[in-house]
Structure 1
Amino acid sequence: MERGERAWSNCPKFPEKCEQYLLCDSRRRAPDLRRCPPRRSRVRPAGGDSERSRCSAIYLRDGQTVIQFELAGQTRRLSALEVLMAQRVGAEFGWRALVGWIHSYGMLHSTPLDLYRIVPDGYGFLFTTLGKKDQSAEETDAALGRLLETAQLLAANGAEFFCINSSPMVTHGGPGADLRLIASIREATGRPGTTTTTAAMRAMRAMGITKIAMCSPYQARNAKLIAFLEVNGFEVVGSYGMTEELTRIHRLPGEVAYRVGREAFRAAPGAQALYMAGGRLRAIDVIEELETDLKVPVIASTPAIVWEVLHYFGTTTPIDGFGRLLSEFPALAAGDRQL
């Protein structure tokens, strides 16, 4: 190994299918090899043909994650980005499924990265926003007025399923607003969809959860979200909301999400699960630590919507590294199977 390199592991699982590797990359710690069964995979290195390959080491060099793998009897080294991008070279984008992702706020943050960390190869996302500038009622109404035109644009570009992202926007119209939004998109495009809030509720029903602790990045919107959840059959026994500026939430580290989630759960005696609303909250890197420490399932927005998307397209193989919802992959509850 070259000078300046720090060995992490001899990982027997090729990293583009290894959520443990991706977790290592973001958390700067070694993978748990007990959760990485040996497997082989195909990779298309830049300029090369598709061959059977095997990861032999993951390490740091000059601050960059490097993957070493064996291909055609030779040892090759690529950066993590080169390997992950190479997987998609030569394949049709979204060859397995193409999902339209409608973001409410006028910019994207970590959501694309988080989604591609979780979903299997072959899933593609078409991202767009509705241009909200803040969480005011005026901005929310204006964004909702652009929803159907935006969905039609995504459908024209191949979107087969829609995800509406933003619990403040989804719950803005009161109880039942999420289903009305989904129905309006289906009527306008002929294609199904879900929302982050809808997916989270369906995930909790699938796991038999009725009493929850809830945390969100938007303290001012918590009362409306709690009322929305309770009308849908969930008892919110405790909640916690952040007051951070909207423009800063996505820059807060996962450790903040951990503490916010833990405080919400401690204030909720008898809660069966913790619901972390809001995709801006950097929850996916700390879900497993929270589940270990709190001894209950943690339902976060991004894993919940991935779970529903994968159910719709039939890819129901459990996914490790992002909490019990994806590692156990429960079936949809009977009342939610109209999808």
Structure 2
Amino acid sequence: MDAAKKVHIGLLTSRSGDRPHFGDFRGLVPAEVGVTIESVGVGPEATVDARSEAVLRRVTEIARDHPIEGLIITGAPLTVLNPEIEKKIAEAITIPATTPIRAATAALHAVNLKKLILMTPFDDEINSLIQARLKQSGLTVLSRPSLEYLGARTGTHVPADKIFGIMEKIVHETPDADAIYFQGAPFNPLPIIDRIESELKLPAIASNPAMLWHILSRLGHNFSIQGYGRLLASWPPLN
């Protein structure tokens, strides 16, 4: 990519873009990439129908009102509770869009990783639906610890060292896993992805870096971003 060329993408989040993990996300975005972060305005406590309606309205507005070339839409639970939402998003806007599980699945296939430890802040119902969707894509979840009690989804800060300690135990208990998949950005692994990969000897795919890689790859861009794991450092091509 020509360093002088600026690509502009959007990010649509169910909550406000000033939550702490978005600071880490902005830190990994290359200087050549502009990001507009907007809120859906309807949180996960709303009904699936209300959230779906709000997402479709807001993707249309952000694509219309901002000079973006691609769109990241956060919120994995909605995509498994309403499997039609991604198709409807594609019909609503003309620019490429990506969602968490879709991007992570593409990333895992791009680096040929299929046996997973699934780390999320969600309840068992959502985790079961995520696991089923991964299975449809040829991916196997070997372990999915129940971590809702940590409160990350509702805004409780989970220190990076605590996340690492949990991971260390689970990796030891799951010797056949070939990757860790972090889904749910409030359960924020970005500050320790390199440490996880170095010390625990497993690649770590996290949803926000995966979505950044996926949307920029779909737009034809290629970067090498250091400090956030081997996916962004090696930037594999889309399969």
Q: Normalising by structure 1, what TM-score?
A: 0.64
- Per the TM alignment, residue 106 of structure 1 is displaced from its structure 2 partner at its CA by 5.6
What is the aligned length? 233
Give the residue type in structure 2 aligned to 1:300.
A
1:58 is matched with which residue? none
1:283 is matched with which residue? 189
**Are the equivalent residues in 1 in contact too, given 2:14–2:44 (CA < 8 A)?**
no
Distance 1:216 1:186 in 2: 26
Q: Deviations over 1:181-217 (max 9, x none)?
A: 3432232221111101111110000000111111111
Distance 2:219 2:202 in 1: 28
Distance 1:209 1:226 in 2: 15
1:237 is matched with which residue? 142
Higher gyration radius (CA): 1
Point out 4+ residue stretches in structure 1 off by more than 6 angstroms. Answer: none
- The 3-state SS of whatever aligns with 2:145 is strand
Distance 1:140 1:262 in 2: 35
Aligned CA distance change for structure 1 residues 98 and 121 (closer, same or farther; 3 Å): same
Aligned CA distance change for structure 1 residues 327 and 269 (closer, same or farther; 3 Å): same
1:147 to 38, 41, 55: 55
Distance 1:266 1:126 in 2: 40
1:168 and 2:102 matched = no
- The 3-state SS of whatever aligns with 1:208 is coil
Aligned CA distance change for structure 1 residues 189 and 279 (closer, same or farther; 3 Å): same
Give the residue type in structure 2 aligned to 1:116.
R
2:20 is matched with which residue? 110
Higher helix share: 2
Alignment of 1:219-258 (within 5 A): 219-220=123-124, 221-242=126-147, 243-245=149-151, 246-249=153-156, 251-258=157-164
- Per the TM alignment, residue 102 of structure 1 is displaced from its structure 2 partner at its CA by 1.3
Q: Deviations over 1:225-279 (max 9, x none)?
A: 1112112211111111312333334x22222222233333333231111111111
Distance 1:259 1:140 in 2: 34
Give the residue type in structure 2 aligned to 1:166.
G
Alignment of 1:1-339 (within 5 A): 96-105=6-15, 108-135=18-45, 138-157=46-65, 158-173=67-82, 177=83, 180-220=84-124, 221-242=126-147, 243-245=149-151, 246-249=153-156, 251-333=157-239
Identical pairs, percent: 26
Aligned CA distance change for structure 1 residues 259 and 298 (closer, same or farther; 3 Å): same
Gaps of 5+ in 2: none
Give the residue type in structure 1 aligned to 2:116.
I
Q: Deviations over 1:82-101 (max 9, x none)?
A: xxxxxxxxx9xxx6122121
- The 3-state SS of whatever aligns with 1:299 is strand
Aligned CA distance change for structure 1 residues 296 and 207 (closer, same or farther; 3 Å): same
Q: Normalising by structure 2, what TM-score?
A: 0.88
Q: Which has the higher contact order (CA 8 A, sep 6+)?
A: 2
Distance 2:173 2:15 in 1: 30
- Per the TM alignment, residue 129 of structure 1 is displaced from its structure 2 partner at its CA by 2.0
- The 3-state SS of whatever aligns with 2:38 is strand
1:31 is matched with which residue? none
**Are the equivalent residues in 2 in contact too, given 1:212–1:272 (CA < 8 A)?**
yes
Give the residue type in structure 2 aligned to 1:170.
T
Give the residue type in structure 2 aligned to 1:120.
P
- Per the TM alignment, residue 107 of structure 1 is displaced from its structure 2 partner at its CA by 6.1
**Are the equivalent residues in 2 in contact too, given 1:239–1:264 (CA < 8 A)?**
no
Distance 2:102 2:69 in 1: 18
Higher strand share: 1
Gaps of 5+ in 1: 1-41, 43-90, 334-339
Aligned CA distance change for structure 1 residues 285 and 150 (closer, same or farther; 3 Å): same
